Structure 1
Amino acid sequence: MRSTLDFADVQTFAARGGDLDGLVRWLRPDVLIVDSAQAAEDATPYAEEHGLPVLHVSVQERTLRVYRHGMWEVVGNGDGPTPEAIRNVVAGALFARAGGES
């Protein structure tokens, strides 16, 4: 995954550490990628407050969802959460934020 996101500074953290809200408040990421429904739910208050896009990758359900503008949207090319699909969503989210759109 890191090689696919070579245009971004990628940091990984185990979800089992708890307190996702506290972690993202200290890190202040531009995009947050999570891999569980619980982490996606836990990330939405911070995301809403800061206009942060959240990408929820579900390998089990083969879905890719993005949270922005206060709602979740299923995205992707129909092939599930491929590295390329994740890259495209992250790149779009980063460039939209840089351009003043969140």
Structure 2
Amino acid sequence: MYDKKKWQWICPDTGNIYNLKHTQEFETSYGVKLEKGEPAKDIACRVIFSNHCFTRLRNPEDLDSHVMVRESKRGGNVEERVFCPVRWDFSQQLPEIIRDLTYRNCLIGGSR
């Protein structure tokens, strides 16, 4: 069961509770050089996570009770997504990875 208010997924088979609070949106800022030789300017950013961070496409063997999200796509197709423990496990690292981008150098396109 997907409990959006408590930010958790409860596996209908095992009763295991998976905390999703790490996917709550947050704000951070990055120093960005807009011109070569100029000092970096702080740019404020809001980070929003999609359920794709902890779900995958439904396979034929997945039960209806495992479907967390139904998303309408272009052309009227509906994509069903189920909880994925592997993606959930990795997603716990995402907030830290994103915050640490502040300390990484990014190259200007075409600079090799």
TM-score by length of 2: 0.25
| Structure 1 or 2: more strand by fraction | 2
More helix by share: 1
